[in-house]
Chain A
Amino acid sequence: ETGVTQTPRHLVMGMTNKKSLKCEQHLGHNAMYWYKQSAKKPLELMFVYSLEERVENNSVPSRFSPECPNSSHLFLHLHTLQPEDSALYLCASSQEWGASYEQYFGPGTRLTVT
């Protein structure tokens, strides 16, 4: 399998549930990212990991908790979410963390919070 994969592709959860989004990259990259894509709004960077260390935390509420156990895997743990958290969550990776490195995106997880 190649590229950046994300599971699940669709998720419906209640506000009291706990769930996790998974991202895996098979590109040998050292940097991984979580983005939130809401309708008609700019893509919002949530977290950046470089060499398994968090290097960016873009004022994201604590109900979103990232985890990067190794350079190939990235998780986003979700708990007590709000309906406004419904969005497409995109994972991306790049060879290194830096401006000149192209980001490769996964297909996203469509999250609906009821």
Chain B
Amino acid sequence: GEDVEQSLFLSVREGDSSVINCTYTDSSSTYLYWYKQEPGAGLQLLTYIFSNMDMKQDQRLTVLLNKKDKHLSLRIADTQTGDSAIYFCAETPNTGGFKTIFGAGTRLFVKA
């Protein structure tokens, strides 16, 4: 079946690293994404990773993919108060139709 799971809340102190975790069920997924949603706004693509990659780094963001365990993580280095938002993990299974499956989102609280 298609399912993406992530914890609902994460709280960190400003300057620390944040790690948001996600598990997915469809091993055929070709693309995995992290979206960010700020209050009152729509989702915005932060980064994505192809299923043939283990890691992708983009400035303060590091994405790690463990295909064996179907586990995806997003690490935000030097977390700032402006990083407070909801972070959605998503996958696109390679089963035709290109339907993107989203998780419920992890709300990140950054304490000053």
Please list the residues of chain A having a beta carbon within 8 angstroms of any beta carbon in chain B: 4, 35, 40-43, 45, 48, 55-56, 58, 90, 92, 97-100, 102-108
Contacts and interface: CB of A to CB of B under 8 A. Distances in A.
Nearest to A35: B102
Contact of B30 (A41, A99, A105): A99
Contacts of B97: 55-56
Contacts of A45: 99-100
Contact of A41 (B31, B92, B100, B104): B104
Nearest to A38: B104
B74 interface: no
Contacts of B42: 4, 90, 92, 104-108
B112 interface: no
User: Is the contact region of chain A dominated by helix, strand, or loop, or is it mixed?
Assistant: loop
Nearest to A50: B98
When A and B form their complex, which 8 residue pairs have the shortest distance between CB atoms, in order from nearest? A105-B42, A43-B102, A99-B92, A105-B43, A102-B45, A42-B104, A99-B31, A99-B98
Q: How large is the interface on B (under 10, 10 to 19, 20 to 34, 35 or more residues)?
A: 20 to 34
A40 B104 contact: yes
**Which of B8, B48, B90, B99 has the most CB atoms of chain A within a 10 A radius of its CB?**
B99
Contacts of A102: 45, 48
Contact of A105 (B4, B44, B92, B103): B44
A55 B35 CA distance: 23
B87 interface: no
**Which of B88, B94, B105 has the most CB atoms of chain A within a 10 A radius of its CB?**
B105
Interface string B24-37: 00000011000100
B8 A43 contact: no
A42 B103 contact: yes
A97 B100 contact: no
Given A90-B42, A92-B42, A100 B31 contact: yes
